[in-house]
Amino acid sequence: MVPVVELNDIAHVYVTDREASLAVEGIHLKVEPGEFVSLVGPSGCGKTTILSVIAGLLQPSKGAAYVNGDPIYGPSPEVGYMLQQDYLFPWRTIMDNALIGLELTERLNPESRSAVQNLLREMGLGDSGNLYPSQLSGGMRQRVALVRTLATDPGLLLLDEPFSALDYQTKLQLEDLIVETLKERGKTAILVTHDLSEAIAMSDRVILLNRNPGRIHRLFDIPENIRRAQPFFARKEPGFNELFHEIWGEMQTIGKE
Ligand SMILES: Nc1ncnc2c1ncn2[C@@H]1O[C@H](COP(=O)(O)OP(=O)(O)OP(=O)(O)O)[C@@H](O)[C@H]1O
């Protein structure tokens, strides 16, 4: 099976007027279809840099990067990107915000519009289509951002700290909703998060990066019982706390390096 993402020996140097700094180096990664993978590690270890390479927003200084077996040359409709901020347009209704990707890719038609209406309904936003973003809570807005991302039906979703601006309860609810929605549709996902418990609860695999420069420190396969549970209940599964402490312990050693 062709991996959805393949990174071969990726390195990236950011060059500014004053200096060149090596952000990541020697990154090898394969993400298989339907897999949910999280990237965790200390601030500055290169999580967003890696996502930007996969999103086609950043050309790496070294190495080869592929999505579905094709070299990445730029942003692709196969890849959806969801960020910490929802970036909804305040002057457009919820429905019109959700449709924007379809409009831009010239795929808006009665069928795709009706699919978006169904997605809004699934996300509990069926009655909100005519409202404006300012009339919605943060959690509702992030659900609209998820609908907007899914509307164009990308096979791969990149999730860059999508819950970090939300209150704890909303964040737990959205974790469950996102995992369920993506699994149902067979999507592949890469999540960047600072919340280790979230990473373990949502993922099939957690990738711990170290820094200066960012490299893959260790990969953790999440045990079956935790993977099968909804993220909220996964935290109560046998083995969850032990795994949390194991990864946490490794993170502390990285922090001291
Ligand atoms: N545009 C840029 N110009 C120069 N250096 C950059 C740029 N973007 C990132 N860096 C540097 O590259 C390294 C990796 O940054 P990156 O944002 O990918 O890390 P991160 O793990 O996502 O960080 P955080 O967890 O704080 O969001 C850091 O040292 C950062 O300062």
User: What is the number of the ligand 1 atom nearest to the C-alpha of 161?
Assistant: 27
pLDDT of residue 86: 86
pLDDT of residue 255: 63
Mark out the alpha helices in the chain (DSSP H runs): 47-54, 94-98, 100-104, 110-122, 138-151, 168-184, 196-202, 224-228, 231-234, 240-256
pLDDT of residue 62: 97
**In degrees rounded to 5, what are phi and psi of residue 95?**
-60, -45
User: What is the pTM (predicted TM-score) of this model?
Assistant: 0.94
User: How far, in Å, from the CA of 203 to the mean position of ligand 1?
Assistant: 23
User: How far, in Å, from the CA of 8 to the mean position of ligand 1?
Assistant: 20
Residues in the chain: 257
Does ipTM top 0.90? yes
User: How far, in Å, from the CA of 22 to the mean position of ligand 1?
Assistant: 10
Pocket probe for ligand 1: among 17, 19, 48, 208, the residue whose CB has the most ligand atoms within 8 Å is 48
Residue-range domain boundaries for the chain: 1-78+188-257
152 contacts 81 by C-beta, under 8 angstroms = no
Question: In the chain, what percentage of residues exceed pLDDT 70?
Answer: 99
Residue ranges in the chain whose pLDDT is less than 50: none
User: What is the number of the ligand 1 atom nearest to the C-alpha of 52?
Assistant: 18
Query: What residues form DSSP beta bridges with 157?
Result: 80, 189
CATH number of 1-78+188-257: 3.40.50.300
pLDDT (tens digit per residue) in 90-128: 999 999 999 999 999 899 999 999 999 999 998 899 999
User: What is the number of the ligand 1 atom nearest to the C-alpha of 212?
Assistant: 29
